[in-house]
Structures are given as C-alpha cells and as structure tokens.
Structure 1
Amino acid sequence: MSGVALSNVIKKYGETQVIHGVELAVEPGEFCVFVGPSGCGKSTLLRMIAGLEETTGGQISIGARDVTKADPSQRGVAMVFQTYALYPHMTVAENMGFGLKMNGHPKAEITEKVGRASDILRLNEYLTRKPKALSGGQRQRVAIGRAIVRGPEVFLFDEPLSNLDAELRVEMRVEIARLHRELGATMIYVTHDQVEAMTLADKIVVLRAGRVEQVGAPLDLYRDPDNLFVAGFIGSPAMNLLPATRVKDGVNVPALGGIITAEQLPGHTPDKLVIGLRPQDIAITEGDSHTVEMTEALGGVSFIHCAAPGQQKLVIEARGTHVERPGAKVGLRADADALYLFNADSGLRIR
C-alpha cells in the first residue's frame, strides 16, 4: 500500500496546456476522488498517474519512487476503465487471470489469486461464464477483479459506473466502498457525479480547467467551500447563488425580494456580493412574491423550483408530503445564519 504525490504536475498538448501545476498528496490507503465538469482534466490527470499520458512537467511519485518517466507496467498501479474491456471468448476466471498468465505466473498462483478476488467480489458462481452471460454490474466486477489479482499498490478508476443504470450504480458504489474497506488499498477514482464523490471519498479533489479548486473531506467541502465554483458544484441540489449588495442592515437580495438582516458582516465585505443559500435554508411562507415552476416530489422530501418576476430561479427543500403545485404563489424566507458570502468579482469566499 503506497501513497501518491503530485508536485507541480503539468500537461501540454503542443502549445495547449490542460493541466496547470497540480500539487496533491494522496495518503496510503486513502480513497481519493477527482471530480469536476467534463473537460476539467480529471481523466487526463488519472492517466498521467497510470503512465498512459506523458507528463510534460513536474513529478509523480508512488510511495518513495519517482515514476514520472516510468513505464505503466513498472508503476505498481491497476486501472479500471469505463468500458469493461473483457475478452468475449474467455471465461470470467480466464479474464481475471489473463494478465498474470501473460507475465508467466504459475498456474497454481493464478488460480489462488483469482479465487481470492472472486471471493471478495462474490463472483464464484460466475467463474465459468463468458461476459455475454453477465449483467453490466457483473462485468464491471470482473474488470475490478482483474485489477485485484495483480496486487497493485494503487487502484485507479476512470468513471467505472458510467455505463450502468441508476440502480446498478448505487449497488456498485456500495460494492466499491466495501472493497476499499476490505483491501485497505489506495484508490483514486474519477467521476463527474458529485453524489458519487460524496458517498465514496475520504478526500475529494475538485478540478476546473486543469486546476485544483479545493481539496478536502466531502462534508468539509460541502460546509466550507472556498469559492463560488465549489459552492455551486458540491451538493445536490446545488446551492442557490444569488446576486446581492451590502447594505447597512445586512444584504439586499433582489431574488429574495429584499433585505436579509445580518447582525454582523466581515469588515472587508465589499458592496457587490453573491450570496449562497442551501435549499434547506430557505423556507416557504405565505405570500405571493414567487411563482412555483416545478416540484420534484420524492416522498418525504420535495425540491421546489420557483422564481420571482424577472429574477433567477431558486430551489427550496421542503419536508413532508404536501406538494406545491406549478403556478402556485408563495413567499420565501431565508435563514440569515446560513448565508455564504462571496466576492462577486473574484468569486472567493468572504469569511
């Protein structure tokens, strides 16, 4: 079990730079998730760690070894891709043990390692089947098993659940979390799904345009975002981000119909702001300032989408089974103690 360290890592394609001086330490045994929108560089960074993309500048270390220029086979990593890449003519057992066979490992050792991996992944009853006889989730478990038998120092996952339906994704998230607990291995996982990131990670790395925006534990990022991007990306539904101005008694928020009284703002608070409010920190009241546009009724909780005339939309979380119908007029009240303040020009959090 080894950690991974990235020091001022840069990636360029010709004159185009896509990874900009990334600094990161993944501790041994940690489950680290790279998350961000499409095109942010998360898969490129993972492939650089694997050695599938050349590193233009900086250093990548696995354990005590500098692997920046090392061949992928010498890095001690195993990668699980979005596509299963199983050999259709081979059985599950043959697929899982193929890499060891190609490297000349004894048959008895291959059988023992495949058996151990199939126990962990609950694949024993499928070992003689071929991939066409498996479900998507079972095929992905075989792909993970192929990585386990190699005994890598670091597991790398590149959006491994993207091809699965919603129910299977939830099941496989549980399986991967259990696998991490049982193996205690270092895992780096790429996803664009921030819910997936929140449920799996010990540490989340939020990326945007090839730069690290913030690193931290899932709930730390949720509770204490550094900037507008992280605030709007982490959390489902997303934080409401609303233009505002500083006034004598607090902040004036046109989208909420007026002033939110705040007893004390930081002394360096500028006049031009963006305020953040989580959906659960806005309550529906009697009134007619806002119109309900859509309600996502999920049972014990509903997400109500509404807007004031000429203002941006807001999402409010409501508990209980009462459902606000589209077209209904409502009032809104924000919890002043739950406000997040951001500089409208820089996007940075005001603390």
Structure 2
Amino acid sequence: MSGVTLEHTIKRYGATQVIHGVDLTVEDGEFCVFVGPSGCGKSTLLRMIAGLEETTDGQIHIGARDVTHMDPAERGIAMVFQTYALYPHMTVRENMGFGLKMNNVPKDEIIRKVNEASKILKLDDYLDRKPKALSGGQRQRVAIGRSIVRGPEVFLFDEPLSNLDAELRVDMRVEIARLHKELGTTMIYVTHDQVEAMTLADKIVVLRAGHIEQVGNPMELYQDPDNKFVAGFIGSPAMNFVTGIAEAGGVRVPALSDSVIPTTVTLPSTGSSVTVGIRPQDMELTAAPSPIVLDIRERLGGVAYDYLATATGERLVVESRGDMAMQAGTQVTVAFDEARAMFFDTETEARLR
C-alpha cells in the first residue's frame, strides 16, 4: 500500500490552465474524496494521478516513487470508471481475470485472486453469468472486482455510482465503505455528491475552478468551513445565506425581522454588509404574524423541508421534524441557534472569525 502526494500540480490545455498548482497529501490507507461542482477539475486531477492525463508541471508521487511521467500500467493503480466497461461476451469470472490473463499471470493464481475478490464482493453466485444477466449494482461490483484482483497500491474511483438508481447508490456506498475497511488500501474517489463525500471519506478535498478550497475530515468541513463556498457545498440541505449589516457587537439581519445576532467575531466597519450563514437544521418555525411566509413544504416522512419567502426577497430552507400541520401561505417567525450562525465577508466570501 502507498499514499499519494501532489506537489504544485498543474494542468494546461494549450493556453487554458485548469488545475492551478495543487498541493495535497493522501496518507497510506486513507479514503480521500474529491468533491465539487461540475467542471471544478476533480476528474482531471484523478486522471492525472492515474496517468490518463499528462501533468503539465509539478510532481505526483505514489509511495516513494515519482510517477509523474510514468505510464498508467507502471503506477500501481487500479481505476473504476462511471461506466462499467465490461466485456459482454465474457462471464463475470472471465471479466475479473482478463487483465491478469493478458499479463501472463499463471492460471492457478488468476483463479485464486478472482475467488478472493468474488468472496469480498459477494459475487460467488454470479461468476458464470454474463454482464447482461446482472443488475447495475452487480455490474459495478464486477468492475470493482476486476480492480481488486490486480492488487493495486491505490484505487481510483471516478463517479462510480452516478449511473445507479437511488436505492442502489446507497447499497453500493455501503459496499465501497466495507471494501475499504476490509482491504485497507488507499482510495481516491471523485463525486459531485456531497452526501457520498460525507459518508465515505476520511478526508474530503473541496475543489472549485481547479483550486483546492479546503481539505479536512467530513465534520471539520461541516462545522468549520473556511469560506462561503465550502459552507454551502457541504451539508444537505445547503446552508442558508442572508444579508446582514454589521453593528457593534453583532449583525442585524433584515430578512429575519431585523433580528440582531450577537457575535464576538471580527466584523467589518459598522454599517458594512456581512453574509450570514444558518443551517436549516438549526432553525425552527412558529406560526405567528410576520413578513416571513411559508411558501412550500416538502414532506419526507419523519422530516419536512420548509421553503420560506422573506420580505427582502431572500429565500430560506428550514428542516422540520415532527408532524406540524402548518400549511403553505402561513406567516411564520424563525428562531435559530445564534451560537451556530456563521459570518462571511460579502466580497471575498472568506469566513469571519
């Protein structure tokens, strides 16, 4: 097993730079997730580690080896793609062992490795089936099994669950988490789904426009984001952002009926704009005369998401639990845990501390 180190890694396509001097260390045995919106560079960065994209500048190390300019086959990695890429005319057993066969691995060793991977992934009952006889989740497990038999130093996953339906995605998340626990191999996983990132990762790397915005474990990023982008991206539903006005000792929030949130953070000058972040889970509604109106309620069984319209035109989402009978159009007041509110510079979006 090996860790992965990126040192001032840069990727350009002609005059266009898409990865901007990324420095990152993924420890040996760590499960690291690259997350960010479409076009942020996460798949490009993964493909650079794999050797499928040429690194324009900087260095990539896997363990003690500088692999920056090595061929993919020499890097000791195995990659699982969004598409399963299985051979339709081969059985599961043949698909999983094909790479070893092409490398002239002895037949007995191929059988042993395929059987070991099959046991780990619970594929024993499907080894003699062809891909067309498998579900989407089973096909993805075969693709993962094909990687396992190679015994790589590092597993790379490029949005492997995006083609699956919601229920299968949950099942496969559990399978991949269990696989990491069992193998203990370094894994780097790309997704745009922050729920996958939160549930799978030891370390999350949040990317935007080819830059790393923040690196940390899931709860560090959730509880202590460095900027508005990270705060809004990590957490579901997303954090609410409303405009506030700095005052002595606090921030006045016109959208919340001019309530003042006391704070000890360093604020800009009195009267300056401040962005206030409040998570939907930290808010609570009460029916009462107010300029805030419950616009839409989404009921999801034990939880409901309430979408509010304010007099300032800003929108809020509140996560409610229990069986409130409040209907759309009801005027409401909003209470929240003031100690959990976050404050951001309106221009730079940096967290005020």
1:334 CA drift (Å): 2.8
The DSSP-based 3-state class of the residue aligned with 2:128 is coil
1:326 equivalent among 328, 337, 342: 328
Following the alignment from structure 1 to structure 2, what is the Cα–Cα distance between the partners of residues 180 and 324? 44
1:336 matched to 2:324: no
Task: Render the CA deviation track for 1:229-274: whole Å, top value 9, x for unaligned.
Answer: 0000000000001111112352111221203240x43345442210
Q: Structure 1: which 4+ aligned runs deviate by more than 6 Å?
A: none
- CA 1:103–1:261 in structure 2 vs 1: closer, same or farther (change >3 Å)? closer
Give the partner amino acid of 1:226.
Answer: D
Checking the alignment, whether the CA contact within 8 Å between 1:304 and 1:324 is kept in structure 2 is no
For residue 71 of structure 1, report the CA deviation from its aligned partner. Answer: 0.5
1:282 aligned partner: 283
* Contact residue 269 and residue 350 of structure 1 kept, 8 A: no
Cα pair distance change 1:350/1:130, threshold 3 Å: same
Q: Which amino acid aligns with 1:333?
A: A
Distance in 1, Cα, partners of 2:119 & 2:261: 59
Q: Does 1:299 align with 2:288?
A: no
Query: What is the rounded CA distance, in whole Å, between the counterparts of 2:155 and 2:191 in structure 1?
Result: 14
In the TM superposition, 1:194-213 aligns within 5 A as 194-213=194-213
Q: Which amino acid aligns with 1:277?
A: I
Distance in 2 of aligned mates of 1:96 and 1:85: 12
CA distance, structure 2, for counterparts of residue 181 and residue 333 of structure 1: 41
Deviates most, 329-338 or 188-197: 329-338
Counterpart amino acid of residue 2 in structure 2:
S
Identity, in percent, stands at: 65
TM-score scaled by structure 1? Answer: 0.98
Q: Secondary structure at the match of 1:294?
A: strand
Q: Which moved more, 1:333-342 or 1:227-236?
A: 333-342
1:29 is aligned to 29
Over 3 Å counting, the alpha-carbon distance change for 1:306 and 1:72 in structure 2 is: same
- 1:323 is displaced (CA, Å) by 4.2
Where do 5+ consecutive residues of structure 1 fail to align? none
Q: Distance in 2 between matches of 1:280 and 1:323?
A: 19
Cα RMSD of the aligned pairs, angstroms, is: 1.1
Letter in 2 for 1:326: A
Is the CA contact 2:82–2:159 (under 8 Å) kept in the aligned structure 1?
yes
**1:248-287, aligned counterparts within 5 Å?**
248=248, 250-262=250-262, 264-270=263-269, 271-285=272-286, 286-287=288-289
What per-residue deviation string (whole Å, max 9, x for no partner) do you get for residues 54-89 of structure 1? 000000000000000000000000000000000000
1:38 maps to 2:21: no
Question: Which piece of structure 1 moves more, 195-204 or 288-297?
Answer: 288-297
